[in-house]
Structure 1
């Protein structure tokens, strides 16, 4: 979704309850608000978040 994180995580996020793991690189320098929309969308589902270099890894409650 290179550069479309803001759109993907801003609307229709019901699918997040079926995801166990997300690897994501944010592109806020190209489109401000990407990280913020992700954080708001996953707040009720995330168990743990780690960052390795530019990659953020979110462990999610699935189901």
Structure 2
């Protein structure tokens, strides 16, 4: 097991270039991680919004 932030989960699952199989593999991979929390419902909503709207996060 390993530790990631919820932001990493959002970024990985929000990537729009996944094949359907690749997306499922990414989800299975993340099942092995301890995710540092924010509410998971919020994370899933953020992932859906990011995937559906082609949002690209800007870094400073």
Which has the larger share of helix?
Answer: 2
Which has the larger share of strand?
Answer: 1
TM-score bin, normalised by smaller chain: 0.3 to 0.5
Name the TM-score, length of structure 1 as normaliser: 0.38
Name the TM-score, length of structure 2 as normaliser: 0.39
